[in-house]
Each structure stands twice: as structure tokens, then as C-alpha cells.
A = this chain, B = another copy of it.
């Protein structure tokens, strides 16, 4: 169920003291080859954390042998001292494994604007190298958790090969990407272009459509490490489908574990003139605090949905819109439809359908409700 399911990968997760409570906080994932193909997608935020600045360079050649990850600090807005901490971590891993530093990606997560405790990180990396194991994926998944309640892991099996993944993320969840770190591994034999194409296609319709709280992170990183150890070279579409399935599974796990959430909401926008229109309308709704509060209150308040849709440039006629909550069409042709009292928003899963009646395109955005627990958790996070 994790990154060490595909052959030829080892991983570990150790407690280095970066997190106060003594939980696992340094993870290492190593690709033992034979190949070292890698692809990556990073945050679209212009304010990028130091590990993102480093890993963008490390992955530029489409190759990587290892990734070291820490929770307990994002190492973002920490200046040259922070960049040096990232660089040193990569060099330490490289020296211990007989690699070049440029073969080692680095990911960090936690509070922005505080220097990492490099003594603890250095000791943790030494321990993580010693703990590397073909069964270490679970520990690695646990070591990257921040406010996550559960660790996130997924696997998809091909014919003689597989794709495994771990993820973290519970807050600052919005595209692109969704405040998270994700490491995917595969023993399929794929080239860099195939890996890159599969990863970009998968993130575009999974992590990029997760918008839990509208806040884009500075540290988001999704890595795919490919070693060809299975000696099976799947067709590009078959490989892409497996990567997509793992990303979708992990994205749903991120949604289900979002900070304070009591509802997982899928907003399906149909009848759009273009897919981008559907995404734009879905995102606008997912970012309406009023809509999100209403779902928390089990109130199918479709007026707030249409008010949000009206802020977009998508093609539609406001007087023709339909809105359904869990199958009940509460708004038909821009007017009250079936009674809102017919809608039951007790279940955790909420499915909203908005029909723009302007074309044939569809997209689904996932979000959560806005709850007292979200406010509480994020009012005390750094204090």
C-alpha cells in the first residue's frame, strides 16, 4: 500500500525532534535502480520554499535517486541560511548513498518563516539512512504528516509492475497544487517523457482540482521516481491510467482528512462550453465561504452557489442554470425548483451538480465545508 511496493525502492521514517511531540519527522525514499528516471510537479506559488527551489534544479534533468523529506518546518522565507540547510541535507544524503547531491530531491513541510533546526535534521538524516528498508514506506508516510490525522498511501498494480504513493496534506489545500507533498514510485520501465506526461496529466485532474480552503502553499511537490526494476515497459496510456488512479486515491484521502472538515463536497459542473469554464465555476463555488458554512449547517443554500458562479467569466445564461444537491434539483432554470427540505445533508459526502447548459464539457472540483474546527485549528497553528 505504499512507495516500497514497487521493486527496487527502500524507505524510512524516523523521529529527529523537528516536531515537538517526538513523532516521526524525517523520511527518506531511495530508488535502487537500475534506472533513475524522475518527473516532478511543483507549486505554482511564486513564493517558493527553499526545498522547492532546490528540487526544481535537481529534477531539471529528469533524473533522481532519492528524496529526503521533513515535517516540522517548511523552510520557506528563511533566506540564504534556509537554502543552505536544504543544500546540506541533499549533500548529506548523497554522501551516505554514494550519489551526487543533484540526484537528491528535498521536500519540507510545516510552519513558514522559521529556520530549520539543522543539528536535529542532520542527526535525523543519519538515522534515516541507517533505517532504510524495503518495508519502510509506511514509516515514510507517517514522517511527512503535519496536521494530518491519518497517513496517506496508495498502490495501483499493472501487469508485472506497480505504482505506489505516499502523501501528506490537510490544510492550505488548494491548487496548484494542494499544499502537500507526494512521492510516487514505480518499477515500470518508462522514459522521462512518459513519466513527465503521465504525472502532469494525473495531477491536472486530481490534486489540481482539490480546493479544500482556497490557500495555495509554498512547498507543494509531487515526485515520481521510476526504476524499471520490473523490466516491463507498459504502454503510455496504461501507465498513465495507473498514475492517475494512485493520484486520485491520494487526493481523496487528502480531502477526507482536511482540517476540521465534516463534509467532503464534490462540485460537478456540467454543460460547460469548455473544460476551463467548468473548472472556473467549480473553483469559485469551492472558494465561497458562505457556501461552505451553509454545507456545515446542512443547509442546501443554492443562492450562494449561483452568487459564486456569477463572479466568473464562464459562458452561461444566469436565467437557465440548474443546481442539484445530492440528486435534488433545488434550482431549475434560475428559479426555485424542488423544495430544499427534500435535501439530506447529513451524510459526509455531498454531491453538488451545476448545469450551465452552454455545452458538453464537465469538471469536478473537490472541497470541504468550513467549520468551527477549521477556524480553531488554524487560529492556534503556530502558537
> Within 8 Å of chain B (Cβ to Cβ): is A70?
no
- Asked if A335 CB lies within 8 Å of chain B CBs, one says yes
Using Cβ atoms and an 8 Å threshold, which residues of chain B touch A302?
77, 112-113
Q: How far is the CA of A361 from the CA of B37 in the complex (A)?
A: 47
Stretch of A13-21, A181-189, A214-222 contacting B (4+ beta carbons < 8 Å): A214-222
Give residues of chain A (121-149) contacting chain B, Cβ–Cβ below 8 Å.
Answer: none
- Min Cβ gap A321→B in Å is 8
Q: Is A294 within 8 A of B115, CB to CB? A: no
Cβ proximity bits A70-89 to B, threshold 8 Å, 1 near / 0 not: 00001011110110000000
Contacts of A48 in B (CB 8 A): 310, 318
| A57 at the binding interface (Cβ < 8 Å) | no
Contact at A336–B114, with CB atoms within 8 Å? yes
Q: Is the interface of A mostly helix, strand, loop or mixed?
A: loop
Instruction: Choose the segment among A160-168, A240-248, A373-381 that binds chain B (4+ C-beta atoms closer than 8 Å).
Output: A373-381
Query: A311 to B370, Cβ gap below 8 A?
Result: no
Given contacts A303-B112, A334-B77, whether A214 and B310 have CB atoms under 8 Å apart is no
B residues less than 8 Å from A287 (CB atoms): 214, 287
Q: Tell me, rounded to whole Å, the shortest Cβ–Cβ distance linking A86 to chain B.
A: 15
Number of identical protomers: 2
Task: Looking at the assembled complex, report how far the CB atom of A341 sits from the nearest CB atom of chain B, in whole angstroms.
Answer: 10
With a CB–CB cut-off of 8 A, which chain B residues contact A381?
Answer: 294, 297, 299, 301
Pair B79/A113 contact, Cβ less than 8 Å: no
Chain B residues within an 8 Å CB radius of A335: 77-79, 81-82
The answer to whether A92 has its CB under 8 Å from any CB of chain B is no
Shortest A216–chain B CB gap in Å is 5
Within 8 A of B (CB), among A295-330: 296-299, 301-304, 306-312, 318-319, 330
Nearest-Cβ distance from residue A308 to partner chain B, whole angstroms: 7
Determine the distance from Cα of A264 to Cα of B202 in the docked complex, in whole angstroms. 42
Smallest CB-CB separation from A114: which chain B residue?
A: B336
List, sorted by A's number, 21 A–B pairs whose CB atoms are closer than 8 Å: A45-B310, A47-B306, A77-B302, A79-B333, A112-B301, A112-B303, A113-B303, A113-B306, A172-B290, A215-B304, A218-B303, A218-B307, A289-B378, A293-B379, A296-B379, A297-B379, A299-B379, A299-B383, A371-B375, A372-B372, A372-B375
